[in-house]
A and B are shown apart, each in its own frame.
Chain A
Amino acid sequence: MIVAERKPMEEIIQMIAPYKKVLLAGCETCVAICWTGGEKEVGILASQLRLARSNNGGKIDIVEATVERQCEKEMVEELREKVDGVEAVLSLACGAGIQTMADVFEDKPVFPAVNTTFLGRPEGEGVWLENCGACGDCFLDRTGGICPMVRCAKGILNGPCGGTRKGGKCEVDPDKDCAWVLIYNRLKKQGRLDLMYKYYPPKNFRAVKRPGKMEAIKA
Chain B
Amino acid sequence: MSLDPLVLEIVLRSLHVTVGALIFSTVIGVPVGTWFALTHFPGKRIFTAFIYTGMGLPPVVVGLVVYLLLSRAGPLGSLDWLFKIEAMILAQTIIATPLIIGVTLSSVLSVEPDLRRQLRALGATRWQTTLSVLYEARFGLIVGLVAGFGSIISEVGAVMLVGGNIEGRTRVLTTAVVLETRRGAFDLALAFGIILLLVALLTNAVLVGLQGRSGRSTP
A and B: real partners?
Answer: no
Report B's interface with A, CB cutoff 8 A: none
Interface residues of A (CB under 8 A from B): none
